[in-house]
Amino acid sequence: MSVSVLKSNGLPSQLRGLRARLYSTRKGEVSSSDPQKDILRRHLYPPNIRNKASPTGTWRPDVARALQRAIPSVQAHETIERAWLLHQRHLRKKRDAELQRKFNCMRQAMQELEEIDSRLFREANKQEDPRARSLAEVEAMKSMSEPEKRAVESRVGGLFPRELRIPTDTPPKNGWPNEWRAFQRPLA
C-alpha cells in the first residue's frame, strides 16, 4: 500500500489506524512498543522512499534536472553521443592499424627465418601438445618424487622455466639453497 493512498481522507478507520501504528515513531511521537521493533519498522517501512535521492538506489529525482542543466536539448545530447562514438571508432582504427603493423613485421621476420634456416623455422612453428610425454620422460617420472613429478607436469615446453630466479642486485637474506638442483627434463 503506498503512502499516497494512505494520505487520502476517505480511508476506513482500520487503514488510518494501521498508518498510525506503522509511523508512530516519526518526529517526536512516542511509541509504546519495543524500541528495537520500532527501529526495524522504520528501516523496513520508511514513510516515503521518494523523499530524497538514494546514492545506491535506482530512483533519483534530481537526474532529470541535472541532465537538463548540463545538456539543454535532445539535439545537443545526440551530437555529443555521435562525437563520442566517432572518438571510439578512431581509437579502434588506430589500435587495429598498430596490430596489423606488428603482424606484418612478424610475418616478414618469419619469412626471413625460413629463407635463412628452414630447421629453425620449423622449430619455431611446431605445434606442441603440453600433455604429451616422450617414453624417456615417462620412464624418468617413475623414479621421481611427487614434487618433481608436479614440476614436470606443470612445465609447458618452450616457455621460460619457472625455477629460474630473477637476477637481483643483492643476494637473498637466507642465502642460496645449496641442496636444490633443477630437474633436467629429458628431451625426446
Q: For residue range 34-91, what is the model confidence (pLDDT) as tens digits?
A: 888 888 877 777 666 555 555 565 666 677 777 778 777 888 888 989 999 999 999 9
- Could you tell me which of 125, 177, 187, 118 has the C-alpha nearest to residue 155? 187
Calpha distance 59→32 (Å, rounded): 34
Choice between 19 and 153, residue whose per-residue pLDDT is larger: 153
Task: Decide if pLDDT at 2 tops 50.
Answer: no
Cell of 163: 625455477
In the structure, what pLDDT confidence band is assigned to residue 27 with cuts at 50, 70 and 90?
low
Give the torsion through C-alpha atoms of 133, 136, 142, 143, to 10 deg: -140
What pLDDT, on the 0 to 100 scale, is given for residue 60? Answer: 66
- Could you tell me which of 147, 174, 144 has the C-alpha nearest to residue 163? 147
Instruction: State what percent of residues in the chain have pLDDT above 70.
Output: 66
**Range among 60-64, 99-103, 116-120, 174-178 rated most confident:** 99-103
- Could you tell me which of 104, 79, 1 has the C-alpha nearest to residue 45? 1
Task: Decide if pLDDT at 97 tops 80.
Answer: yes
Mean pLDDT of the chain: 75
Task: Decide if pLDDT at 3 tops 50.
Answer: no
Task: Decide if pLDDT at 145 tops 90.
Answer: no
- Could you tell me which of 34, 33, 1 has the C-alpha nearest to residue 18? 1
In the structure, what pLDDT confidence band is assigned to residue 32 with cuts at 50, 70 and 90?
low
